[in-house]
A and B are shown apart, each in its own frame.
Chain A
Amino acid sequence: AQSVAQPEDQVNVAEGNPLTVKCTYSVSGNPYLFWYVQYPNRGLQFLLKYITGDNLVKGSYGFEAEFNKSQTSFHLKKPSALVSDSALYFCAVREGGGYNKLIFGAGTRLAVHP
């Protein structure tokens, strides 16, 4: 069975510092991994995805994520956080191939302080 875990309910970081939002997953086969961001009273906005290839994936707004197969992780990172990055972040996983559904994590709230 597929599953995804975001171990931190909230991450606090000072503006200008690097940020990391953690995600671990479990699938039987090859994982397709995604990060989404949600601002208040809005839908989810796609940030980036990993399907295959380079383990470091670059996405929107300066975000990137590193796929680590041995640790079954897909942590979201940004070298320098902005106050405007404060939002709810969701990791999601789908087992590649077929009609497997996308499984979302519970979300991590990122708070960037000035």
Chain B
Amino acid sequence: EADIYQTPRYLVIGTGKKITLECSQTMGHDKMYWYQQDPGMELHLIHYSYGVNSTEKGDLSSESTVSRIRTEHFPLTLESARPSHTSQYLCASSDFDGADTQYFGPGTRLTVL
């Protein structure tokens, strides 16, 4: 079944650690996105990609970085986590189908102590 996956679902780490949040989709979508969302609050686009080797920064400034080496994989990395990075991170993908409907993964809840 075509889907979008995120791992880990929950992560608690200490300040200064390097972390990578994984996102993979099996829908063959070209476009992928990362959003940051505080619980129950609005979404903020932090990164997006239109295809392999394409990455762009979103509307909200973020200290994270992304890469897109394979179509199905769009990992997000924080080189040195801080408590201000505590949030929920949502990955999404869409296709060039005219509507550009985005489909979301289950999210990663990150807590930095």
Contact = CB atoms under 8 A, between A and B. Distances in A.
A-B complex is real: yes
Interface in B12-42: 40-42
A34 B40 CA distance: 19
B19 to A, nearest CB: 19
Interface centre among B42, B105, B109 (most CB of A within 10 A): B42
B109 A41 contact: yes
Contacts, number: 50
B40 A88 contact: yes
Interface in A36-60: 36, 41-46, 49, 51
Contact of A106 (B42, B45, B91): B42
Interface in B62-101: 90-92, 98-101
Which size class do A's interface residues fall under?
Answer: 20 to 34
Nearest to A102: B102
Contacts of A105: 42
Which size class do B's interface residues fall under?
Answer: 20 to 34
Contacts of A61: none
Given A41-B109, A107-B42, A46 B90 contact: no
Interface of B: 6, 40-43, 45, 48, 50, 59, 90-92, 98-107, 109
27 contacts: A34-B102, A36-B104, A41-B109, A42-B106, A43-B6, A43-B90, A43-B92, A43-B104, A43-B106, A44-B43, A44-B90, A44-B92, A44-B102, A45-B104, A46-B101, A46-B102, A49-B99, A49-B101, A101-B48, A101-B59, A102-B100, A106-B41, A106-B42, A107-B40, A107-B41, A107-B42, A109-B40
